[in-house]
Amino acid sequence: MSVLTLGQVRIHAGSSTQEAALQEATDILVTAGAVTPAYVDAMRQREETVSTYMGNGLAIPHGTNDAKDAILGSALSVVRYDGGVDWAGEQATFVVGIAGKGDEHLEILSQIAILFSDEDDVEKLNAAQTPEELFALLSAVNE
């Protein structure tokens, strides 16, 4: 079971708002069959409690624990906004939406965190020209 497919990876030249980025992350996860449209509300609630901005240009929005009903399976959405997203005052370039069934989100979170903790890796992720290139760099999350 792959948590990430090429269709769940996007690159946008422009910027976005946090709200629009949360909606896009949810839409990708809905299309992947991982969540119901209500998941965006759980993501918003999480942001109200604590920002999911992680540093190194990465935000990893995910739902609150109350959102279990909205989660149908485990999946990721990865969107790079080259113009950035104002994420509670921080500048996010990557918005990685996470839906995890049961405890799977912890495993997925740790793999994403490892990938983005290495500045060389982040540089490669930022330099990828196409969704295909970006997906190839991220495909380790499926292992």
**What letter does residue 62 receive in the DSSP assignment?**
B
102: confidence class by pLDDT, cuts 50, 70, 90: confident
**What letter does residue 14 receive in the DSSP assignment?**
S
Among residues 8, 54, 57, 62, which one is catalytic? 62
Count of other CB atoms within 10 angstroms of residue 54: 19
Give the pLDDT of residue 31.
Answer: 97
Q: What's the chain's average pLDDT?
A: 94
Is residue 105 among the annotated active site residues? no
| Radius of gyration of the chain measured on its C-alpha atoms | 14
The pTM for the full model equals 0.95
Count of other CB atoms within 10 angstroms of residue 143: 6
Distance CA 135, CA 42 (A): 26
Tokens of 70: 């909205």
Contact assessment for residue 81 and residue 14, using Cβ atoms and an 8 Å cutoff: yes
Per-residue pLDDT tens over the stretch 120-129: 999 999 999 9
Per-residue pLDDT tens over the stretch 48-81: 999 999 999 999 999 988 888 999 999 999 999 9
Per-residue pLDDT tens over the stretch 19-44: 999 999 999 999 999 999 999 999 99
Distance CA 52, CA 54 (A): 6
DSSP 18-61: HHHHHHHHHHHHHHTTSB-TTHHHHHHHHHHHS--EEETTEE--
